[in-house]
Chains A and B, each alone.
Chain A
Amino acid sequence: MLSLTLKEAVHKLRDGSITAKDLCEKCIERLNKTQQLNAFITETVDISRDSAAKTDRKRQKSKPMRWRKLEGLPIAVKDNFCTTGIRTSCSTAMLQNYIPPYTATVVQRLQDEGAYLIGKTNMDEFAMGSGSVDGIYGPVRNPWNYKFTSAHLENQQTKPIEQVNMRNYHTSTEDWHIAGGSSGGSAAAVASGVCFGALGSDTGGSTRNPAAYCGVVGFKPTYGMLSRHGLIPLVNSMDVPALFSKTVDDASILFNVMAGHDVHDSTTVTDEFNHFTLSDNISIKDLHIGIPKEYHTPGLSKDVHNAWVEAADMFEKAGSKVTQVSLPHTQYSILCYIVLNCCEVASNMARYDGIEFGHRATNEDSTEELYAATRHEGFNDVVRGRILAGNYFLLRQNYEKYFAKAMKIRRLISEDFKKVFASGVDVLLTPTTLTAAPTYKWFTERDNRTASEEQDIFTQPVNMAGVPAITVPSKLSDDGLPIGLQFIGQNFKDKELLTIAKWYEQQVQFKQLDLDYLDNVS
Chain B
Amino acid sequence: MWSKQWKSVVGLEIHAQINTESKLFSGAENKFGGPTNTQVSLFDAAFPGTLPVLNKGCVEAGVLTALALRCTVNKVSKFDRKHYFYADLPAGYQITQQRQPLAVKGYVDYCISDKNNFQTKTANITQIQLEQDSGKSLHDEKDKISLIDLNRCGTGLMEIVTEPDFSDGTDASAFVKELQKILQTIQTCDCKMEEGSLRVDANISVHKPGERLGVRTEVKNLNSIKSVSKAISFEVKRQIELLENGGVVENETRSFDTEIDETVPMRDKEVKTDYRFMPEPNLPPLHLFDNESVKTVASKISVINIDDIQQKLPPLPEDTRKRLEQQYCLKRRDVAVLVDNSGLVDYFEEVMRLSPTTNAKLVSNFIINQLLGVLNDKKFTIHNCPVTTDDFGRLIDLVQTEEISYSTSYKVLDEMFEHPNITPEDIVEQKDWRQISDTQVLTNICEKVLEEHPKIIAKYRKGKLKYLHTLVNKAVIDSNNKGNPRILKQIMEDLLDNK
- Measured in the bound complex, the distance between the Cα atoms of B145 and A267 in whole Å is 38
Flag B32-55 by CB within 8 Å of A: 1 or 0 each.
000000000010011111111110
- Measured in the bound complex, the distance between the Cα atoms of B316 and A126 in whole Å is 53
Task: Indicate if the CB atoms of B47 and A394 lie closer than 8 Å.
Answer: no
Contacts of B299 in A (CB 8 A): 270
Task: Indicate if the CB atoms of B46 and A356 lie closer than 8 Å.
Answer: yes
Which of A100, A346, A347, A357 has the most C-beta atoms of chain B within 10 angstroms of its own C-beta?
A347
Task: Indicate if the CB atoms of B148 and A355 lie closer than 8 Å.
Answer: yes
Nearest CB on B from A22, distance (A): 35
Task: Indicate if the CB atoms of B45 and A356 lie closer than 8 Å.
Answer: yes
Q: Which of chain B's residues 119-175 have a Cβ closer than 8 Å to chain A?
A: 144-146, 148
A235, closest chain B residue (CB): B281
- Interface: B283 (CB within 8 A): yes
Nearest CB on B from A408, distance (A): 13
- Measured in the bound complex, the distance between the Cα atoms of B276 and A236 in whole Å is 17
Task: Indicate if the CB atoms of A229 and B54 lie closer than 8 Å.
Answer: no
Contacts of B144 in A (CB 8 A): 364
In-complex Cβ contact of A265 among B46, B51, B86 (8 A): B51
Nearest CB on B from A241, distance (A): 11
- Interface: A102 (CB within 8 A): yes
Task: Indicate if the CB atoms of B42 and A101 lie closer than 8 Å.
Answer: yes
Flag A190-218 by CB within 8 Å of B: 1 or 0 each.
00000000000000000000000000000
- Interface: A396 (CB within 8 A): yes
Task: Indicate if the CB atoms of B51 and A347 lie closer than 8 Å.
Answer: no
- Interface: A415 (CB within 8 A): no
B40, closest chain A residue (CB): A356
- Interface: A125 (CB within 8 A): no
Nearest CB on A from B151, distance (A): 14
Task: Indicate if the CB atoms of A228 and B51 lie closer than 8 Å.
Answer: yes
Task: Indicate if the CB atoms of B92 and A351 lie closer than 8 Å.
Answer: yes
In-complex Cβ contact of A351 among B46, B54, B274 (8 A): B46
Task: Indicate if the CB atoms of A82 and B93 lie closer than 8 Å.
Answer: no
Task: Indicate if the CB atoms of A266 and B53 lie closer than 8 Å.
Answer: yes
Task: Indicate if the CB atoms of B81 and A347 lie closer than 8 Å.
Answer: yes
- Measured in the bound complex, the distance between the Cα atoms of B281 and A343 in whole Å is 11
Flag A104-137 by CB within 8 Å of B: 1 or 0 each.
1000000000000000000000000000000000
Contacts of A264 in B (CB 8 A): 50-51, 53
Interface size on B, residues (CB 8 A): 35
- Interface: A24 (CB within 8 A): no
Nearest CB on B from A200, distance (A): 15
Flag A343-379 by CB within 8 Å of B: 1 or 0 each.
1101101110101110000001001100100000000
- Interface: B87 (CB within 8 A): yes
- Measured in the bound complex, the distance between the Cα atoms of B147 and A355 in whole Å is 11
- Interface: B417 (CB within 8 A): no
Task: Indicate if the CB atoms of A344 and B281 lie closer than 8 Å.
Answer: yes
Q: Which of chain A's residues 326-351 have a Cβ closer than 8 Å to chain B?
A: 343-344, 346-347, 349-351
Given known A343-B278, A394-B278, A403-B278, contact A350–B91 (CB-CB < 8 A): yes
Given known A101-B42, A263-B53, contact A82–B281 (CB-CB < 8 A): no
Given known A356-B45, A356-B46, contact A367–B86 (CB-CB < 8 A): yes
Nearest CB on A from B275, distance (A): 8
- Interface: A184 (CB within 8 A): no
- Interface: B284 (CB within 8 A): yes
Task: Indicate if the CB atoms of B47 and A100 lie closer than 8 Å.
Answer: yes
- Interface: B380 (CB within 8 A): no
Task: Indicate if the CB atoms of A232 and B49 lie closer than 8 Å.
Answer: yes
Nearest CB on B from A237, distance (A): 4
Contacts of A229 in B (CB 8 A): 49-51
In-complex Cβ contact of A266 among B48, B93, B283 (8 A): B283
- Interface: A146 (CB within 8 A): no
Given known A351-B92, A367-B87, A395-B274, contact A82–B49 (CB-CB < 8 A): yes
Task: Indicate if the CB atoms of B90 and A347 lie closer than 8 Å.
Answer: no
A239, closest chain B residue (CB): B281
Interface size on A, residues (CB 8 A): 45
- Interface: A448 (CB within 8 A): no
Contacts of B83 in A (CB 8 A): 347, 350, 394
Contacts of A267 in B (CB 8 A): 51, 281-282, 284
Nearest CB on A from B306, distance (A): 21
Task: Indicate if the CB atoms of A266 and B278 lie closer than 8 Å.
Answer: no
In-complex Cβ contact of B301 among A232, A270, A357, A368 (8 A): A270
Flag A224-245 by CB within 8 Å of B: 1 or 0 each.
0000111111011100000000
Contacts of B284 in A (CB 8 A): 266-267
Contacts of B282 in A (CB 8 A): 236, 265-267
Given known A266-B51, A266-B282, A266-B283, contact A102–B42 (CB-CB < 8 A): yes
Given known A101-B42, A391-B276, contact A347–B50 (CB-CB < 8 A): no
Task: Indicate if the CB atoms of A266 and B52 lie closer than 8 Å.
Answer: yes
- Interface: B234 (CB within 8 A): no
Task: Indicate if the CB atoms of A353 and B92 lie closer than 8 Å.
Answer: yes
Nearest CB on A from B78, distance (A): 12
- Interface: A273 (CB within 8 A): no
- Measured in the bound complex, the distance between the Cα atoms of B26 and A264 in whole Å is 9
Given known A266-B283, A399-B277, contact A351–B87 (CB-CB < 8 A): no
Which of A100, A235, A349 has the most C-beta atoms of chain B within 10 angstroms of its own C-beta?
A100
- Measured in the bound complex, the distance between the Cα atoms of B29 and A448 in whole Å is 44
- Measured in the bound complex, the distance between the Cα atoms of B328 and A493 in whole Å is 68
- Measured in the bound complex, the distance between the Cα atoms of B54 and A97 in whole Å is 31
A233, closest chain B residue (CB): B49
- Interface: A515 (CB within 8 A): no
- Measured in the bound complex, the distance between the Cα atoms of B91 and A351 in whole Å is 4
Q: Which of chain B's residues 254-299 have a Cβ closer than 8 Å to chain A?
A: 274, 276-278, 281-284, 299
Contacts of B81 in A (CB 8 A): 347
Contacts of B274 in A (CB 8 A): 395-396
Nearest CB on B from A358, distance (A): 8
Given known A350-B91, A355-B90, A395-B274, contact A371–B85 (CB-CB < 8 A): yes
Contacts of B48 in A (CB 8 A): 82, 90, 95, 98, 100, 232-233, 351, 357
Contacts of A371 in B (CB 8 A): 85
Q: Which of chain A's residues 365-407 have a Cβ closer than 8 Å to chain B?
A: 367-368, 371, 391, 394-396, 399, 403
A393, closest chain B residue (CB): B276
Contacts of B42 in A (CB 8 A): 101-102
- Measured in the bound complex, the distance between the Cα atoms of B282 and A228 in whole Å is 10
Nearest CB on A from B298, distance (A): 10
Q: Which of chain A's residues 302-344 have a Cβ closer than 8 Å to chain B?
A: 343-344
Task: Indicate if the CB atoms of A356 and B49 lie closer than 8 Å.
Answer: no
Flag A250-291 by CB within 8 Å of B: 1 or 0 each.
000000000000011111001000000000000000000000
Nearest CB on A from B44, distance (A): 10
- Measured in the bound complex, the distance between the Cα atoms of B93 and A505 in whole Å is 46
Nearest CB on B from A93, distance (A): 14
- Measured in the bound complex, the distance between the Cα atoms of B126 and A381 in whole Å is 44
Nearest CB on B from A240, distance (A): 13
A391, closest chain B residue (CB): B276
- Measured in the bound complex, the distance between the Cα atoms of B94 and A351 in whole Å is 11
Task: Indicate if the CB atoms of A236 and B301 lie closer than 8 Å.
Answer: no
Contacts of B276 in A (CB 8 A): 346-347, 391, 394-396, 399
Nearest CB on A from B47, distance (A): 6
Contacts of A346 in B (CB 8 A): 276
Contacts of A351 in B (CB 8 A): 46, 48, 90-92
Q: Which of chain B's residues 47-104 have a Cβ closer than 8 Å to chain A?
A: 47-54, 81, 83, 85-87, 90-93
- Measured in the bound complex, the distance between the Cα atoms of B42 and A104 in whole Å is 13
Query: Other CB < 8 Å A-B pairs besides A233-B49, A355-B90, A356-B90, 11 of them?
Result: A102-B50, A236-B281, A263-B53, A350-B83, A351-B90, A356-B45, A356-B46, A356-B47, A367-B85, A367-B87, A394-B276
16 contacts between A and B (CB under 8 A): A101-B47, A228-B49, A230-B49, A230-B50, A265-B51, A266-B53, A267-B51, A270-B299, A270-B301, A270-B302, A346-B276, A347-B81, A347-B93, A349-B92, A367-B85, A399-B276
Query: Shortest 8 CB-CB distances between A and B: which pairs?
Result: A350-B92, A394-B276, A236-B281, A237-B281, A232-B48, A351-B46, A230-B49, A232-B49
